[in-house]
Amino acid sequence: MDSSDAVREGLIPLLPRLRRLARALAGQVADADDLVQIVLERALARATQWRPDSPLDKWVFAIARNAWRDELRARGRTAKLFASEEAGETVADPTGTQPAQQLELAAALATLSPDQREVVALVLVEGLSYDEAAALLEVPVGTVTSRLARARTALQALLGNDA
Amino acid sequence: MNPIDDATLQAYVDGELDAAARARVDALLAQDPAQAHRVQQLQALNAQLRAAFDPVLDEPVPAHLTAMLQPRTTAAATPTSLAGRRRTHAAPHHRPRRWMLPGAALAASVALLAVGLWWHAGNGLVRTHNGESYAAGALVRALDQSLASEPDAQAPVAIGLSFRAADGHICRTFTIRTPPSRSGLACRAATGWALPVIAPMAPVESGELRQAASDLPPTVQAAVDARLHGNVFNARQERAARAAGWR
Tell me the three-class secondary structure of A68-119, residue by residue: HHHHHHHHCCCCCCCCHHHHHHHHCCCCCCCCHHHHHHHHHHHCCCHHHHHH
- Among chain A residues, CA nearest to B10: A149
Asked if B53 lies within 8 A of A125 by C-beta distance, the reply is yes
Which residue from B10, B65, B92 is facing A29, i.e. has the nearest CB? B92
Check residue B93 and give its pLDDT.
Answer: 42
Between CA A140 and CA B99 the distance in angstroms is 32
- Interface probe, candidates B5, B38, B42, B48, chain A, greatest A C-beta count within 10 A: B48
Specify the amino acid at residue A42: R
- Which of A28, A34, A118 has the highest number of chain B CBs within 10 A, making it the mutation to test binding with B? A34
- B175 shares a domain with B128: yes
Phi, psi of A48 (to 5 degrees): -70, -15
Can you list the alpha helix ranges (DSSP code H) found in B100-234? 102-108, 110-120, 137-145, 218-227
Note whether B113 and B133 are same-domain residues: yes
Query: What was the pLDDT predicted at A116?
Result: 97
Same domain flag for B104 and B147 = yes
Domain that holds residue B80: 60-243
Nearest CA in chain B to A106: B52
pLDDT of residue A162: 54
B14 and B86 in a single domain? The answer is no
Contact between A24 and A121 under an 8 Å Cβ cutoff? The reply is: yes
**pLDDT value of position B214:** 53
Three-class DSSP category at B113:
helix
Is the confidence at residue B178, as pLDDT, over 90?
Answer: no
3-state secondary structure of B25: helix
Chain B: give the shortest CA distance to residue A59, in Å.
16
Residue A159 CA to residue A138 CA, distance in Å, equals: 30
A155: which chain B residues are within 8 Å (Cβ-Cβ)?
A: 45
The reply to whether B53 and B67 lie within a common domain is no
pLDDT recorded at residue B2:
60
Interface test with A, best of B39, B64, B65 (most A CBs within 10 A): B65
Instruction: Establish if B127 belongs to a structural domain.
Output: yes
pLDDT of residue A74: 85
Identify the pLDDT of residue B134: 86
**Poorest-pLDDT segment among A34-48, A95-109, B83-97:** B83-97
Asked if the model's pLDDT at residue B98 lies above 50, the reply is: no
Q: Are residues B139 and B232 in the same domain?
A: yes
Residues B29 and B144 in one domain: no
Q: Are residues B88 and B24 in the same domain?
A: no
Please give the tally of structural domains in chain B.
2
> Does residue B123 share a domain with residue B102?
yes
Predicted local confidence at residue A136, as pLDDT: 96
Instruction: Tell me: do B195 and B220 sit in the same domain.
Output: yes
Provide the 8-state DSSP code for B101: -
Question: Is B96 a member of any domain?
Answer: yes
pLDDT at B227: 86
| Residue B92 within any structural domain of the chain | yes
**In terms of domains, do B234 and B143 share one?**
yes
The full set of domains in chain A, from first to last, is 3-78+85-159 (1.20.140.160)
Cβ-based contacts of B17 with chain A (< 8 Å): none
Let me know whether B114 and B22 are in one domain. no
Number of neighbouring beta carbons within 10 Å of residue B63: 24
Asked if residue B1 is part of any domain, the answer here is: no
Chain B residues whose beta carbon lies within 8 Å of the beta carbon of residue A1: none
For the cut 60, the answer to whether the pLDDT of residue B139 exceeds it is yes
Which residue type occupies A9? E
**What is the per-residue pLDDT across A60-105, written as a single tens digit (0 to 9) for each?**
999 999 999 999 888 765 444 444 444 444 444 455 567 888 888 9
The pLDDT value recorded for residue B217 is 81
Q: Which of B10, B50, B56 minimises the CB distance to A148? A: B10
